Amino acid sequence: MGRPIKKSKFVASFGGDTSAKIAVSNYRTGGSNTASTTAYIVSQRGSLQFKIHMDDSTEKVMTLVTDETLTVNDTFNVKMVLDDSTTVYVSKFFNNTVHYTKTDGTHGSVPYTLGTDPTGDFQVESGHGIIDIVSE
């Protein structure tokens, strides 16, 4: 698995401090695809396996994928916005950078920061990406 992501990037318990924690954009369980604003990553279980706290307050280990529309059960994705306003999907997390996949299939790697509204008005630093955080 390599080095795990810093625990400070995750929410330790439901109702805990959710400032600057990685949010889940979409997840799929049992045939239903859910776009979420409150689901978040609880802990890392493998390089692509993460324990996710879902909207209904249940938790489940799921696999990170780069599909915009999830077609496989027990998968989730995390959106990121690049400095040119392109929306991409995280393919792998590292402590200071992420690998990503664009919707056209091209790949890249950039340092990332966490923000409250990556599709909003704030500026993305050149050569970086912004990942949405949990909103409660």
pLDDT greater at residue 86 or residue 134: 86
Confidence at residue 107, expressed as pLDDT on a 0 to 100 scale: 95
- φ, ψ for residue 88, nearest 5 deg: -130, 170
For 55-101, write each residue's pLDDT tens digit.
Answer: 888 999 999 999 988 999 999 999 999 988 899 999 999 888 999 99
Domain encompassing residue 115 = 1-136
Is the pLDDT reported for residue 52 higher than 70?
Answer: yes
Report how many domains make up the chain: 1
Q: Is the pLDDT of residue 23 over 50?
A: yes
Instruction: Evaluate whether 90 touches 80 at the Cβ level (below 8 Å).
Output: yes
Per-residue pLDDT at 11 exceeds 60 = no
Report how far apart, in Å, the C-alpha atoms of 27 and of each of 8, 64, 72, 106 are. Answer: 22, 9, 10, 22
> Which strand ranges, in their side-by-side order, compose the sheet holding 49-53?
32-35, 26-29, 75-77, 59-64, 49-53, 40-44
What residues form DSSP beta bridges with 51? 43, 61
Structure-model confidence comparison of residues 6 and 130, the more confident one: 130
**pLDDT class of 118 with cuts at 50, 70, 90:** very low
Going by C-alpha positions, the residue among 39, 1, 45, 48 that lies closest to residue 21 is 39
pLDDT at 51 exceeding the cut of 90: yes
